[in-house]
Amino acid sequence: MEHRKVKACIVLLLLFACGVRQGRAWSDSALSPGARVLMDAHNCYPYGGRWSDRIDRALETGTPLAIEQDLFWYTDKGTGKSWSVVSHGDKVRGTEPTIRDYFFERIRPVIEKALHDGDTRNWPLITLNLDFKSDEAAHHAAIWQLLKEYESWICSATRTSDIQHMMPLTLKPLLVLTGEADSQQRDFYDIVPVGERLLAFGAVHLHGKDPMAPPEILVPQPANNYRRWWNNSWGVVEEGGQRKSGAWTSQDEERLQGLVNHAHKMNLWIRFYTLNGHSDRDRKENGWDKNYNFGSKERVLVRWKAAVAARVDFLATDQYEDLAKQLHDFPPAAISEKMERRLAGNSH
């Protein structure tokens, strides 16, 4: 028994040392890259007036979790008035919900209870992924004003004159992420006065044209004060993505782990989209995209487990309940044992 305790202490010290070498404690808070694996509720909004229960289904899986909201800037041809709607951008009618009504007011009870209770251990409870389907400056400005209204809920950081000077995030129940577009950096970082608070954080640019290039080629630069995460299609893990994937192999696992390790070394959260496994009937009934389908529950399950073991920060799926159950059921000991074997192998 004493031998096992000593061994466990050694593993923890090695994990801490790895984190220090990367300029951060390995799991000093839920905000640290690699500290936790979250179910990311992909396309969590209605389509054509259908599937309006998606956000309720996602929240019912429990927190912490991530939720994706697609935004489109709609202009009414009759009045010329424009506003942001939650939509993938196809056949937009203007009757789609706003993100204020569909997302922010829906999560209000969760956020206000969290603020009242003051238990910050799992904060941020919700990570909002804003996927802009149109990038007008007016669109960004409208969303910025909305974020300012809910600022007391949102993780923020001080805007610096040097973007490479990465400031710590204040810990709040909600974290807001945006995409990699330069126009988003302009409107959510560059035009924010130095010393004021940043409320949304962008993704890094990918370099090169080969999605199977080494991780250090894809993302050569570390996180900065605005760009704090790395968003990936599954095609960077298995060439051709979900539809062309074969049997899951040790080489695939090494590729996945290499991408995650590099992201965390660069102080970036990493996200992969979108890992589904279902029948064609389920796809049609639920309005899911066929291009994200591995074809069966068994084939996606092995990849979910590999992603959890690799410490992927955000794992996107349309099958919210199924992935959430795996995250709840996946034994932490299995992750620890895998990490222990990796450290032991590196010590020889």
Task: Quick: pLDDT tens for 21-75.
Answer: 333 322 347 899 999 999 999 999 998 889 999 999 999 999 999 999 999 999 9
Give me the mean pLDDT over the 278-297 stretch: 95
Looking at the structure, tell me whether residues 77 and 99 fall in a common domain: yes
Looking at the structure, tell me whether residues 52 and 188 fall in a common domain: yes
Looking at the structure, tell me whether residues 215 and 316 fall in a common domain: yes
Give me the mean pLDDT over the 222-242 stretch: 98
Looking at the structure, tell me whether residues 284 and 185 fall in a common domain: no
Looking at the structure, tell me whether residues 195 and 215 fall in a common domain: no
Q: Is residue 29 part of a domain?
A: no
Query: pLDDT per residue over 68-113, tens digit each?
Result: 999 999 999 999 999 999 999 888 999 999 999 999 999 999 999 9
Looking at the structure, tell me whether residues 78 and 137 fall in a common domain: yes
The domain boundary residue, chosen from 203, 219, 251 = 203
Q: Is residue 342 part of a domain?
A: no
CB 53: neighbour CB atoms within 10 A? Answer: 10
Number of domains in the chain: 2
The domain boundary residue, chosen from 188, 203, 218 = 203
Confidence at residue 18, expressed as pLDDT on a 0 to 100 scale: 39
Q: Residue 266 above 60 pLDDT?
A: yes
Confidence at residue 181, expressed as pLDDT on a 0 to 100 scale: 98
Q: Is residue 199 part of a domain?
A: yes
The domain boundary residue, chosen from 170, 203, 236 = 203
Confidence at residue 341, expressed as pLDDT on a 0 to 100 scale: 52
* Domain extent for 87: 36-203
Looking at the structure, tell me whether residues 119 and 164 fall in a common domain: yes
The mean predicted confidence, pLDDT, of the chain is: 89
